[in-house]
Amino acid sequence: MSENKPKKEKQKASAEPEIMEKIVSLCKQRGFVFQSSEIYGGLKSCYDYGPLGAELKRNVKAEWWRTMVHSREDVVGLDASIIMHPNVWRASGHLAGFTDPMVDCKDCKERGRADKWPVAAAGTEAEYKVIIDHQSGKKETRKAAVGALGIVCPNCGSPNLSDIRRFNMMFRTSLGSVDNIDTIAKAVEGKNLSGEELKKVVAAAIEETAVYLRPETAQAMFTNFINVQTSMRMKPPFGIAQQGKSFRNEITVEHFTFRSCEFEQMEMEYFVPPPQYADEGKDDMYWYNYWCTERLKWYSDLGIRKEKLRLRPHESTELAHYAKACSDVEYDYPWGWGELEGIAHRSDFDLKAHEKASGKRLTFFDSQKNAHYHPYVIEPAAGADRTALAFLLDAYNEEPPPPGTTEGRTVLKLHPRLAPIKVAVFPLVKKEGMPETARKIMSEFFQNQINASYDEKDAIGRRYRRQDECGTPYCITVDGQTAQDGSVTLRERDSMAQERIQVADAVAVIKKRLA
Ligand code: GAP
């Protein structure tokens, strides 16, 4: 739950709007990400991935699965349900503690997370602007002392704030064919209740059928620990990996898909022997450091510039009471360093908590050591949406016109395996059999499950730039020479270098470059 920690880093202000505006606009223009329900005015913090965005996110998740599951003997996958027994969230601590500090501005009615609002020294005077005429929008400047909270409203600057309330971020719904309104109506019918009594009665009525949309995928790996371990005959150290939707009713949603209420996670729980049963040199801290290194490397292997990545160990004050250590893989976003992924050493907290609450034994029996133990857990937890956004931001380049030309280009230098379209095929002109040959090459790519795109509209330079803008790493052009010697040009996105290859080799050449 490292996402709830206050961020102390000073944030960049100036560069963000420009680059983010460009990314948001490119995402819409080129079919990566759209605002959800746009024709109805949109829904705050909800996004739809368009054709290219869906490909990008699928590729991000496929790369993660390939690295974390398919390349290793010690990690297996899981695909659990989003709705789990409510006792899961009682035992995990989410029902009591998965909260953010919520505060309201009494002047402009802004609501937000207290730990994210601008800090001001208590007792000092804050100057703020209040709208005094809503029709004209006329404002009046006022002054007031900063209160004990030591923060001011980010919207109007006012220090007149409500008390901080803890707001639980889990989305609650009900399971079964019951209508909460009926239940509540029956519970309060004929009773003359005070506000507090009414609240209690309603809460109890709702609670009977309440279930929650999972705020993280992790818990199903703990509740299925025995199922997976015994069915797959796994022995610590081993991991259970899962990708899927999680939901958090965030008080503050921000930076496009960086923080939203519905998002996808890619999490792995790696169960290791506690220190007394560990193999020599491979104790829990060895595995924690191992996963920190591996996870940082994953991002740079897929093309994120090393200088834009860092591993930030949490300070002891940031750690949950059960955590032995935690580090964030951070990316240098346009607004400053922020979390991409958290790697937490969760000790044996989760298995013990679920064992206590469920009454089911959640230990591993090590026959060689003749011991039952609760494994410790190392948890690399990443977000697919946030990762896709970081890949987009890092890949975005505006290049000036090459010498002797007038047109620059916008290019997404995505790793070829992440690129939504792998190869574009063009006929140089719409005649002399070139479209037919290009279509034939296209169908070869599709038969080999390589996502390809055909384009015959506009001048060839324009077509290259369209593909550059959505990150297509390779373009193949059928021209006059193709009919003579069976060759086509292959153009590489980043260097723009062109070479001739044989049509018959096209699939093999692209496959090799994507490997
Ligand atoms: N099981 C641990 C856990 O959930 P977390 O740091 O709260 O840890 C893991 O979440 C990752 O999920 C984050 O690093 C981030 O990439 C992603 N994530 C969390 N909250 C998010 C949100 N509101 N919107 C988008 N991604 C989010």
Coil, strand or helix: which one is 189?
coil
The Å distance, Cα 507 to ligand 1 centre, comes to 38
pLDDT of residue 1: 47
Residues 6+ apart with CB under 8 A from 21: none
Nearest atom in ligand 1 to the alpha carbon of residue 341 is 14
Strand partners, 240: 76, 269
pLDDT of residue 2: 46
**Region class of 193: left (phi > 0), else alpha (psi between -120 and 50), else beta:** beta
Give me the percent of the chain exceeding a pLDDT of 90: 88
Angle at 507 between CA 501 and CA 512, to 5 degrees: 90
The Å distance, Cα 257 to ligand 1 centre, comes to 12
pLDDT-derived band at 16, boundaries 50, 70, 90? low
Nearest atom in ligand 1 to the alpha carbon of residue 339 is 14
Backbone φ and ψ for 354, nearest 5 degrees, come out as -75, -30
Nearest atom in ligand 1 to the alpha carbon of residue 344 is 2
Is the confidence at residue 493, as pLDDT, over 70? yes
pLDDT of residue 173: 94
Report how far residue 210's alpha carbon sits from residue 357's, in angstroms, rounded to the nearest whole number: 18
Weakest-pLDDT range from 256-260, 320-324, 349-353: 320-324
Could you tell me the strand order of the sheet in which 83-84 lies?
A: 83-84, 210-213, 172-174
Residues 122-143: tens digit of each pLDDT = 999 999 999 998 889 899 999 9
pLDDT of residue 393: 98
Nearest atom in ligand 1 to the alpha carbon of residue 217 is 1
pLDDT of residue 506: 98
Residues 6+ apart with CB under 8 A from 512: none
What's the whole-model pTM score?
0.93
**Region class of 367: left (phi > 0), else alpha (psi between -120 and 50), else beta:** alpha
Residues 144-183: tens digit of each pLDDT = 999 999 999 999 999 999 999 999 999 999 998 888 888 8
Nearest atom in ligand 1 to the alpha carbon of residue 218 is 1
- Mean pLDDT for 21-45 is 96
Mutation probe of ligand 1 site: the residue of 386, 389, 391 with most atoms within 8 A of C-beta: 386
CB atoms within 10 A of CB 125: 10
Which pairing describes strands 423-427 and 474-478: parallel, antiparallel, or unpaired? parallel
The Å distance, Cα 265 to ligand 1 centre, comes to 7
Residues 217-249: tens digit of each pLDDT = 999 999 999 999 999 999 999 999 999 999 999
- Give the 3-state DSSP-derived string for 205-222, with helices as H, strands as E and coil as C: HHHCCEEEECCCCHHHHH
Residues 401-416: tens digit of each pLDDT = 988 888 899 999 999 9
Ligand 1 cavity residues, CB under 6 Å:
1-3, 216, 218, 248, 250, 259-260, 263, 265, 267, 339-342, 379, 381-383, 385-386
The Å distance, Cα 495 to ligand 1 centre, comes to 36
The Å distance, Cα 3 to ligand 1 centre, comes to 6
Closest C-alpha among 67, 64, 66 to residue 391: 64
Nearest atom in ligand 1 to the alpha carbon of residue 261 is 23
- Mean pLDDT for 469-479 is 98
Q: CB–CB of 362/369 below 8 Å? A: no
Is the confidence at residue 10, as pLDDT, over 70? no
Q: Which residues of 87-109 are buried (b: 16+ CB within 10 A; e: fewer)?
A: ebbebbbbbeebbbbbbbbebbe
Structure tokens at 370: 């003749």
Mutation probe of ligand 1 site: the residue of 3, 33, 113, 345 with most atoms within 8 A of C-beta: 3
Nearest atom in ligand 1 to the alpha carbon of residue 383 is 16
The Å distance, Cα 505 to ligand 1 centre, comes to 43
- Mean pLDDT for 68-91 is 98
CB atoms within 10 A of CB 459: 9
Residues 436-454: tens digit of each pLDDT = 999 999 999 999 999 999 9
Residues 361-392: tens digit of each pLDDT = 999 999 999 999 999 999 999 999 999 999 99
Whose tokens are 């037919």? That residue is 436
Is the confidence at residue 13, as pLDDT, over 60? no
Whose tokens are 């390939």? That residue is 66
Nearest atom in ligand 1 to the alpha carbon of residue 257 is 25
Mean pLDDT computed over every residue of the chain? 95
Backbone φ and ψ for 368, nearest 5 degrees, come out as -65, -40
The Å distance, Cα 246 to ligand 1 centre, comes to 9
The Å distance, Cα 338 to ligand 1 centre, comes to 11
Structure tokens at 314: 């949490």
pLDDT-derived band at 7, boundaries 50, 70, 90? very low
Backbone φ and ψ for 351, nearest 5 degrees, come out as -65, -40
The Å distance, Cα 344 to ligand 1 centre, comes to 12
pLDDT of residue 5: 46
- Mean pLDDT for 103-116 is 94
Query: For residue 124, which amino acid is it?
Result: T
Query: For residue 460, which amino acid is it?
Result: I
Closest C-alpha among 343, 162, 167 to residue 261: 167
Mutation probe of ligand 1 site: the residue of 216, 243, 265, 304 with most atoms within 8 A of C-beta: 265
Cα 336 to Cα 7, 27, 67, 333, 341, distances in angstroms: 11, 21, 28, 5, 15
The Å distance, Cα 38 to ligand 1 centre, comes to 25
Weakest-pLDDT range from 186-195, 306-315, 351-360, 453-462: 186-195
Residues 262-305: tens digit of each pLDDT = 999 999 999 999 999 999 999 999 999 999 999 999 999 999 99
Report how far residue 421's alpha carbon sits from residue 513's, in angstroms, rounded to the nearest whole number: 14
- Give the 3-state DSSP-derived string for 47-81, with helices as H, strands as E and coil as C: EEECHHHHHHHHHHHHHHHHHHHHCCCCEEEECCC
Closest C-alpha among 418, 424, 489 to residue 462: 424
Report how far residue 493's alpha carbon sits from residue 440's, in angstroms, rounded to the nearest whole number: 22
The Å distance, Cα 226 to ligand 1 centre, comes to 26
pLDDT of residue 180: 86
Q: CB–CB of 243/266 below 8 Å? A: yes
Nearest atom in ligand 1 to the alpha carbon of residue 253 is 23
pLDDT of residue 14: 54
Report how far residue 1's alpha carbon sits from residue 271's, in angstroms, rounded to the nearest whole number: 18
